[in-house]
């Protein structure tokens, strides 16, 4: 496979940065690097632009350094919460990976971070608080606090299987409110307290006349 020497005009991960002179496959340069303007052929004319490319490279690296430094400070103040399924002893049924942490950073804080920058010496396999090392830049590292919570511990409480009612803190069943007799009005209560009798309803006019006539004295009949 034939090789050709080119001058990179942009930073290409795994290959080089601006102004670097590298050898690549001729087909790769012809079909990808040159059409995308990521590199130019190594010629005397193009070598004159190396100084400008180095200046651009220095500006880009300074910007990346400042950006990653600020990001490291911001991430150190955050706590990334990840909820997983685990047993009562806190041991997880799986593990927390760098990809999961990157996804939660995007979901919780809208921070896009390449999972390759999240350095896990060993996968996280237990609940609790953990400190994860971040490799944000060749000259910038940081620490992210990750809190792994058990989904079972935040589940809503359920009634006992035997169907009994839940007990209160004192171990007693909650009392249901009993309904008492209907309230009597204030006048009735006052009458009972004083011993007064309720007035009877007024008699009709006809009944009153009959009663008056019966009580009147009878006159003697003449002989």
- Please tell me the pTM assigned to this model: 0.57
The whole-angstrom separation of Cα 98 and Cα 96 is 7
The whole-angstrom separation of Cα 129 and Cα 3 is 51
Number of domains in the chain: 2
In a domain, 60, yes or no: no
Kindly state whether residues 76 and 148 are assigned to the same domain.
yes
Kindly state whether residues 39 and 78 are assigned to the same domain.
no
pLDDT digits (tens, 9 = 90+) for 133-176: 999 999 999 999 999 998 876 544 554 555 555 555 445 555 55
Q: Which CATH number belongs to the domain containing residue 78 in this structure?
A: 3.10.430.100
Q: List the one residue out of 83, 76, 85 whose CA is nearest residue 100.
A: 83
Domain residue limits at 115 = 72-154
pLDDT digits (tens, 9 = 90+) for 52-91: 999 999 999 999 999 999 999 999 999 999 998 877 776 7
In a domain, 191, yes or no: no
In a domain, 210, yes or no: no
In a domain, 138, yes or no: yes
Q: Which CATH number belongs to the domain containing residue 16 in this structure?
A: 3.40.5.10
User: Which of 95, 127, 154 finishes a domain?
Assistant: 154
């Amino acid at each position: 496979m034939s090789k050709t020497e080119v001058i990179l005009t942009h930073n290409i991960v795994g290959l080089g940065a601006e102004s670097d002179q590298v050898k690549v496959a001729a087909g790769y340069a012809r079909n990808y690097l040159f059409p995308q303007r990521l590199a130019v052929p190594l010629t005397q004319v193009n070598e004159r632009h190396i100084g400008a490319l180095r200046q651009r490279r220095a500006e880009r690296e300074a910007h990346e350094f400042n950006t990653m430094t600020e990001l490291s400070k911001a991430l150190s103040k955050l706590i990334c919460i990840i909820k997983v399924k685990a047993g009562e002893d806190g041991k997880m049924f799986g593990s927390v990976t760098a990809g999961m942490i990157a996804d939660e950073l995007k979901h919780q804080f809208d921070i896009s971070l390449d999972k390759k920058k999240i350095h896990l010496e060993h996968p996280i396999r237990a609940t609790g608080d953990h400190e994860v090392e971040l490799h944000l830049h060749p000259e910038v590292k940081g620490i992210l606090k990750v809190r792994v919570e058990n989904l079972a511990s935040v589940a809503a409480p359920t009634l006992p299987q035997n169907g009994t009612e839940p007990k209160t803190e004192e171990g007693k069943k909650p009392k249901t409110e009993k309904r008492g007799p209907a309230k009597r009005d204030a006048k009735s209560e006052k009458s009972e307290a004083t011993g007064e009798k309720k007035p009877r309803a007024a008699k009709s006019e006809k009944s009153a006349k009959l009663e008056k006539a019966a009580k009147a004295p009878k006159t003697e009949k003449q002989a």
